Amino acid sequence: MAERIRLAMAGCGGMAGAHLSGYQDIKKRGLDFFDIVSVCDPVLERAEGFAKRIAEFQPDRKVTLYASLDEMLDEEDLHCVDTSSPHHLHHVIACACMEAGVDVMVEKPLGVTIRAARKMIETAGRTGQILATAEQVRRWIGPRVVQWAVANEAMSGRSRMFFAQSSRGPEGMPVEAEEKNKVWRHEKLKGGGGAVIDGMVHYADFLIYCYGEPETVSATCGQLNRSYTLDENGQRQPMDWPETLISHIRFKSGVAGTWTWTGAAPGKAISFTIHYGDLGSVYAEGNYPMKPEFHQRDKTCISHEELLEQYLASLSEEKLAALFPPELYPEPRELTGDHGVPLEVYDFLCAVRDRRRPELDGMDGLIAQALSEACLESSELGRSVSYDEVLSGEVRAYQHEIDEAYGL
């Protein structure tokens, strides 16, 4: 593609702001091969706020504001759209874009249900448009190091098992009155499954990145905080928003482990991940493995800094440039913070420009989402489920209500 890429943003809420910062970072590094030409949000004040931010780093190109996606697609000559809308609108926006001949990147989770995600993938296949999933966690250098160490048999040996636990809780609030402002994420029909879908899909993608596709899932999900929202009359309404996941996952590779994630654990917080192989374990503090270290069988430890050096030394120049483009991040050793978002939006822009597959396309997004959905389905049915029966759509007891609401 010889011409400059014309990009639009559909949805100007919370996560869209991180995407916008990613595009700003790209421009600041002199990678000026695209223009944000329009922004769309049903609340025009939000779109106006985005336009002001864009003008600060793109002063020579006017940004057009829209409250209607259809109007924007009719009026603008676009190459691609980045959408970070509420989950129940992902398939609506993405399919409309692709039908209009426009590539699209969708913030995770790919769809509000498996059927919604599959509708998007079918549309991408039929139209020939790019469908990318915005997933930043695996692009952080820490998770890249973990995946390499787990797969490196000379270091880890054969993978045995894993444990991932993130437990934190509310502070200073009565147990029966943890009132929260109601937002779309708190509604099953709009959010698709609370934190299990909204946040934990990041870790689902990471586990699949390390071990391949799951085989069986047994899980308990729920709202343990007994939180409430207030309706228009000031009356408490229970939240339909699972904030707790306790699961056992077996992968087709034979690796098994437990994955626990909760915001309903008052008192002491615990957060770590550990992956065991024959020869040692990869350990990291925190929700995500940002600074992993390797503990060898003889109890000696390879520090994070040394492990990072070994990882980078293992990469060919071509692979290093693909994962951490030098024009964006010339020194991977210095990467901190959320560098995954600039990487994912840059990858999308390059895929559009070069007419290539993005690192994470729609199918990758579906594969990760299906693990989170399998946890919800297992909990709903009170039994273990196979990953394949959830991925195929054969099991959708939890999702059925959402599918019915949107005619999926």
Poorest-pLDDT segment among 49-63, 117-131, 218-232, 251-265: 218-232
Question: Is 208 a residue whose pLDDT tops 90?
Answer: yes
Give the mean pLDDT of the chain.
94
pLDDT of residue 406: 97
**pLDDT reported for residue 3:** 86
pLDDT surpasses 80 at 181: no
Domains assigned to the chain? 5-136 (3.40.50.720), 138-337 (3.30.360.10)
Evaluate the omega torsion of the peptide bond into residue 358 and state whether it is cis, within 30 degrees of 0. no
Alpha carbon distance 316, 274 (integer Å):
27
Map tokens 């990041």 to a residue: 202
**Which helix (H) or strand (E) is 218 found in, with range?**
strand 214-222
Per cent of the chain over pLDDT 70 is 98
The answer to pTM > 0.85 is yes
Q: What is the pLDDT confidence band of residue 171, given thresholds at 50, 70 and 90?
A: confident
pLDDT, residue 175, reads 67
Q: Mind listing the pLDDT tens digit for each residue in 238-286?
A: 777 899 999 999 999 999 999 999 999 999 999 999 999 999 999 999 9
Q: What is the mean pLDDT of residues 195-219?
A: 96
Q: What is the pLDDT of residue 173?
A: 63
DSSP string, 120-148: HHHHHHHH---EEEE--GGGSHHHHHHHH
The β-bridge relationship of strands 64-66 and 80-83 is unpaired
DSSP 8-state class, residue 311: H
What's the pLDDT band for 174 if we cut at 50, 70, 90? low
Helix (H) or strand (E) holding 172: none
Query: Residue 232 contacts by C-beta under 8 Å, 6 or more apart in sequence?
Result: none
Q: Which band of pLDDT confidence, cut at 50, 70 and 90, is reported for residue 236?
A: confident
Residue of 265, 252, 245, 190 whose CA lies nearest to 374: 245
The CA distance from 4 to 327, in Å, is: 18
Is pLDDT above 80 for 128? yes
CA neighbor of 338 nearest in space, from 388, 402, 392, 288: 288
